[in-house]
Structure 1
């Protein structure tokens, strides 16, 4: 049952939206706390037992526990007092990472603000999303070092602000210091696996090999070939050829690399035996969710003492590789922050190691049979991609580089430009048939992978999810379904910017802000035309859906649904979540009447003119550029 909000309620929500901007945006004319305000804030902070952390670390359990406990207390305040407290904190710590995090968590937790749409974090704390040169000059610096460091050829992808926001917002909504949300461990594994698959797709497009794991037992003892300079305030660079230290000191905490090696071995030991071990020595059957919770070391970990804090400690070690004991007071590298970490090449190498542990679980699962994957009485007879502006070039995707203008705040309002990837809008055309005599509710799962001669089992984790949507078919119905790219279940819906809030152009929050950036839905491909395979698999949503009648909208595939269980009962990544006996993707599609494959070409256009993607512009201000 649905109800309509009264105009008074809508008005109060819009007013509250504007009130929370005071938390995020500090007015230069009112940025200084008066003496009475300062004294009042100090009293409140003493009551909260708040201790400011000058170098907030997203992967330090002590830091995160303190932040979430403070947020819990703040969220119990009356809404006006909460906003006043957070606003004063922002004035006291103008561009502080902890205060930004504390603010968003507190607002998510408070009953009066949990449904409000918050401004994008790239607008409110831009120093964690843009490099210093962009913030100073308004434009990014030209990179001329690709000969010496070929990895910089993909810096445009790793440094896309949308990836940083996706990763940050996911970890804000799924913190490891609270009881895990529904299937959080499984989603932790799948979301990062998809980031790896998408990065590998881009690597293959420019002639690189796939990411190689870097971690205990995976070239950990050798120099790290890749260096990285983030060119960001608060983060140091890492020269190439650095070695992992045996001991890392972060404040009063010691991290020993030998401990990570031992924890890794305990994971593999448990996987080989098919169970995880609880503190009381009881055996727990392994699931991807329990394995993911234990790897992330969140509150759902089966045994933190035995399996440790492998994922987070890896981030910490790699962020301090150039000053492991802190003797030179060198700023940590970007791996210390969830916003900045995806910029660094080693983020993907570290997560390839983490995924190797998840993969050790997947390969022991029973392969799906043809019967497991078949949906009776449902046929998918064809799938095509039709691209706007080039409708006659079926099954061709087109990408291009362009300049996007971003409006940012703190310390002041400013417009900056950055080169990003985009694609010409397109749609899927599916010809489907219901051969039964009853109504059918079908979910269509669409994946894309680079064309290869590899066996499917060696290539299954290269399939990126493009979409997942539900359709209703009448008895005996034979029709064509059209699905547009902007409806994708993996991408972030259009964001509500600061200007939208000021203009009263807001709607209830339906996503945690997590979601793959819309402009990066399709990999760049190359100028020669990169060959890829598009696969669709239809399954029974009446059986697969947790609440089949609920609308499957928003960025649910990578982020779940706010306030609800993960909507799909199938394992995440299905049907590529385990080993397969199919030779290749064509073999799979040929044996399943409810599946279909199409060969597609991804064309990168160096001098494309006429984007027509104003709906994706933050300020309707795109400028096309050549690469």
Structure 2
């Protein structure tokens, strides 16, 4: 079985084709095996004997000198003795008390002097720390430590199935385990999306997109690589233009969501007002492993505090005042944009309309450690998730019932996510409105002309996808190591036929160029043509690569498997583990593709669904002069890494703004049609049944 890998949607393309890498290093294979074992049945203590021995013999207070910052280990031991979030309780990174515990554990992992200390610390934490805190902190540490570079994380939807599959699927898995688990080939459950039982709002017909395991795991892994709380002295993200990247990731998610809305005859993402009841209700149909249900939000939910907190405890609970915090922080952001400057925490005035302005604004809105003043400008997204998620106020810090918006694994399931981040993207557009538009001279590439563009017929369909959710059920110590319990889920997911595209370009000299290809709508839900000046934010970046033009005619041919920020289905945990064991025992190979070890948007969703008769969309192709990226980490040796290290800036191809040339307002549509190095190509996307695809393929063989 193959499963989803995740990466930034259209945000950053890998500059080169990273080939599949055969891993023969025994030490690496042992580390990959050992780390995978720590992810098994995360909701139970580990029953591996070596884990139990390490957990019993390892005492943190005896190993302070094994950490590069001993004070970090001392601090964690102290708060551990005070008492942390108990095992079995729900963890959410959007509760400050939970987040601080997760950060403390991450630092304990990250500042371990060597791999052995890191591993022994992880085994100890696996047995003694809340499972949600452990899983989150451990995953973040793996992708940021130097000595765990290349370690493949297993699919999060297999490790935490409760966050990706509806309750009826989990209940069916429980029933199988209790009654029939000795079946030789395991058990397969057919899974539906949430609209199968309840359809509270017409937009729930989009659940095949909003609840897709690959789309949601993309968002989870993006926030594992770029946690909103990490940065500053602890980790340098400046080389990645982290603030601007934050904006572009969300802008692209919204653009992709809008294309899917059009395929289902919906229009613009609604805009909401905090003073007006929120129209879209949400009933998640999810249940936490401890039996607690995810909170639901009714249609036309009232958000202001009298209704939101009626009859609930206030006390020192800051989240009870989310409505006020959200209003204050949004007002301060608007004022900063209009004034053109912000103040740092020590009162220093910082110009927003500088070369780094959008990056500063992104850090400020995300409220990450690189923000000029996190306290004053605030964590807007944290309080907005509490408010819109409609979760009840907790009685204490350890008994919480987070909403779907308060987990990265489930945020994209709620339509409120898209409506809130539309507000965020519009704040960036408010800032961009003060910047000059690109002129024809800015866009023009002297001596280069795009003559024509060709695409194969574009066809989408739904096919079955299999996921191993054995981690959803509880096993005995005897069953833990035998792997006899196998529960699979079969679910329809959107896919498309592979296709090839060709760009015909003429050049008057040999030169380096950068090619960008975007996909966007041509008509709205009523069939009205949308001017590019109104449409630019609806374009999704589908390819971005460097190309060496020769003199004369160039035919640039690419296919739908070459765009590296879209990634293939990820290898399942069970298959990954077997491959590692086989390589260690000399009975096979362990091959890792950069797609597998890094992260990206699911390739299955490269195209929107379209419709049976063919729905018109348009591609925009622009060929620009190559401008080297100037923020690369000094001393970074790309030859040492087969995929970019986070924080190095190595995943950037060029120095253009994210989303260029759609990143700034367009005053004259004709400019984009006049420049010879750009080209609009209209096409149709057809949706077919999988059986029709198979029949068509057979007929041509």
Superposition TM-score, scaled by structure 2 size: 0.76
- C-alpha change, 1:515 and 1:604, in structure 2 (3 Å) is same
Q: Mind listing any 5+ residue stretches in structure 1 that lack a counterpart?
A: 387-395, 615-627
Q: Deviations over 1:136-186 (max 9, x none)?
A: 432224745687521111011100011111111111111122216121111
| Cα drift, residue 363 of structure 1 | 1.5
Aligned counterpart for 1:304 among listed residues 374, 378, 381:
374
| Cα drift, residue 535 of structure 1 | 0.7
Q: Specify the SS of the correspondent of 1:164.
A: helix
Aligned counterpart for 2:607 among listed residues 510, 522, 547:
522
Q: Does 1:90 align with 2:126?
A: yes
Q: Does 1:174 align with 2:226?
A: yes
- C-alpha change, 1:542 and 1:186, in structure 2 (3 Å) is closer
Matches within 5 A, 1:591-602: 591-602=674-685
Q: What corresponds to 1:244 in structure 2?
A: 303
| Cα drift, residue 11 of structure 1 | 2.4
Q: What corresponds to 1:401 in structure 2?
A: 462
Aligned counterpart for 1:196 among listed residues 238, 254, 264:
254
Q: In 2, are the aligned partners of 1:176 and 1:298 still within 8 Å (CA)? A: yes
| Cα drift, residue 455 of structure 1 | 2.5
Q: Deviations over 1:399-436 (max 9, x none)?
A: 11122111234245421111110001101111112212
Q: What corresponds to 2:518 in structure 1?
A: 447
Q: What corresponds to 1:483 in structure 2?
A: 558
- C-alpha change, 1:35 and 1:121, in structure 2 (3 Å) is closer
- C-alpha change, 1:527 and 1:545, in structure 2 (3 Å) is farther
- C-alpha change, 1:259 and 1:47, in structure 2 (3 Å) is closer
Q: What corresponds to 2:8 in structure 1?
A: none
Aligned counterpart for 1:590 among listed residues 661, 664, 673:
673
C-alpha distance in 2 between matches for 1:543 and 1:30: 48
Q: What corresponds to 2:318 in structure 1?
A: 254
Aligned counterpart for 1:157 among listed residues 209, 217, 225:
209
Q: Specify the SS of the correspondent of 1:335.
A: helix
| Cα drift, residue 41 of structure 1 | 5.6
C-alpha distance in 1 between matches for 2:578 and 2:623: 43
Aligned counterpart for 2:168 among listed residues 129, 133, 158:
133
| Cα drift, residue 62 of structure 1 | 4.2
Q: In 1, are the aligned partners of 2:55 and 2:123 still within 8 Å (CA)? A: no
| Cα drift, residue 570 of structure 1 | 0.8
Aligned counterpart for 2:267 among listed residues 202, 209, 218:
209
| Cα drift, residue 123 of structure 1 | 1.9
C-alpha distance in 1 between matches for 2:135 and 2:52: 24
Q: In 1, are the aligned partners of 2:391 and 2:401 still within 8 Å (CA)? A: no
- C-alpha change, 1:8 and 1:175, in structure 2 (3 Å) is closer
Q: Specify the SS of the correspondent of 1:487.
A: coil
- C-alpha change, 1:315 and 1:608, in structure 2 (3 Å) is same
- C-alpha change, 1:35 and 1:544, in structure 2 (3 Å) is closer
Q: Specify the SS of the correspondent of 1:194.
A: helix
Q: Specify the SS of the correspondent of 2:601.
A: coil
C-alpha distance in 1 between matches for 2:512 and 2:243: 29
Q: What corresponds to 2:454 in structure 1?
A: 384
Aligned counterpart for 1:271 among listed residues 329, 337, 342:
337
Q: What corresponds to 2:578 in structure 1?
A: 502
C-alpha distance in 1 between matches for 2:366 and 2:163: 23
Q: What corresponds to 2:94 in structure 1?
A: 59
Q: Specify the SS of the correspondent of 2:190.
A: coil
Q: What corresponds to 2:409 in structure 1?
A: 339
C-alpha distance in 2 between matches for 1:590 and 1:330: 54
Aligned length: 586
C-alpha distance in 2 between matches for 1:550 and 1:590: 38
Q: Does 1:432 align with 2:448?
A: no
C-alpha distance in 2 between matches for 1:344 and 1:365: 33
Q: Deviations over 1:333-387 (max 9, x none)?
A: 101101111111111111111112111111111000011111112221111111x
Q: What corresponds to 1:622 in structure 2?
A: none
Matches within 5 A, 1:1-150: 10-26=25-41, 31=47, 39-40=56-57, 47=77, 49-50=79-80, 52-53=84-85, 54-75=89-110, 76=112, 78-91=114-127, 96-137=131-172, 138-141=189-192, 143-144=195-196, 149-150=201-202
Higher relative contact order (CA 8 A, sep 6+): 2
Q: Specify the SS of the correspondent of 1:575.
A: coil
Aligned counterpart for 1:576 among listed residues 645, 662, 669:
662
C-alpha distance in 2 between matches for 1:301 and 1:185: 9
- C-alpha change, 1:497 and 1:541, in structure 2 (3 Å) is farther
- C-alpha change, 1:26 and 1:532, in structure 2 (3 Å) is closer
Q: Which moved more, 1:103-112 or 1:158-167?
A: 103-112
C-alpha distance in 2 between matches for 1:506 and 1:125: 25
Q: Does 1:461 align with 2:537?
A: yes
| Cα drift, residue 52 of structure 1 | 3.7
Q: What corresponds to 1:617 in structure 2?
A: none
Q: In 1, are the aligned partners of 2:564 and 2:595 still within 8 Å (CA)? A: no
Q: In 1, are the aligned partners of 2:515 and 2:621 still within 8 Å (CA)? A: yes
Q: In 2, are the aligned partners of 1:443 and 1:470 still within 8 Å (CA)? A: yes
Q: In 2, are the aligned partners of 1:510 and 1:554 still within 8 Å (CA)? A: no
| Cα drift, residue 603 of structure 1 | 0.9
Q: In 2, are the aligned partners of 1:510 and 1:562 still within 8 Å (CA)? A: no
- C-alpha change, 1:69 and 1:561, in structure 2 (3 Å) is closer
- C-alpha change, 1:281 and 1:270, in structure 2 (3 Å) is same
Aligned counterpart for 2:365 among listed residues 295, 298, 303:
295
- C-alpha change, 1:399 and 1:536, in structure 2 (3 Å) is same
Q: What corresponds to 1:318 in structure 2?
A: 388
Q: Specify the SS of the correspondent of 2:148.
A: coil
Q: What corresponds to 1:618 in structure 2?
A: none
C-alpha distance in 2 between matches for 1:279 and 1:546: 25
